[in-house]
Amino acid sequence: QVQLVESGGGLVQAGGSLRLSCAASGATFSTDALGWFRQAPGKEREFVAVIRWSDGLTYYADSMKGRFAISRDNANYRAHLQIHSLKLEDTALYYCAVKKSGIAGYAIGAFYDYWGQGTQVTVSS
């Protein structure tokens, strides 16, 4: 019912920056919160950041604070993840996801209702 398409990933040198985008379509009115997750090969999915659509309230994983910033364009149903000072360990497939049932439980991927296919971020030394 909600389709999500991520973009903006690519190959970036360590220390660089990148802005990922997530375009939502379909039943976008159902969006309470939009989160970003990432998953590196062989590792479990990791919460990055979330934004509540109605008022822009944000939460970040502790390890992401300071280098990651989530934002939204309400009129366009787009969200963004700005990443600065990229590190090798940031290499992962980054997903955006929509949570319909409020922002509570935002760090748990299983609580999200819709997922994009991901955009690859690869950080080189």
Which single residue is written with the structure tokens 């949570």? 99
How many Å apart are CA 60 and CA 46, to the nearest integer? 11
pLDDT of residue 75: 82
Q: Can you say whether the dihedral through the CA atoms of 8, 48, 38, 55 is positive or negative?
A: negative
Selection from 48, 32, 51 nearest residue 40 by Cα = 48
Distance separating the N- and C-terminal Cα atoms of the chain: 40
Angle at 5 between CA 64 and CA 14, to 5 degrees: 40
Give the mean model confidence (pLDDT) for residues 100-111. 95
Q: What is the pLDDT of residues 14-50, one digit of tens each?
A: 999 999 999 999 987 777 999 999 999 999 999 999 9
- Extended beta strands in the chain, E state: 2-7, 10-13, 18-26, 33-39, 46-52, 58-60, 68-73, 78-83, 92-99, 114-115, 119-124
Residue pair 51/72 in contact (Cβ under 8 Å)? The answer is yes
pLDDT of residue 28: 79
Give the mean model confidence (pLDDT) for residues 77-81. 95
Q: Is the pLDDT of residue 97 over 90?
A: yes
User: Residues in the chain, how many?
Assistant: 125
Q: Is the pLDDT of residue 10 over 80?
A: yes
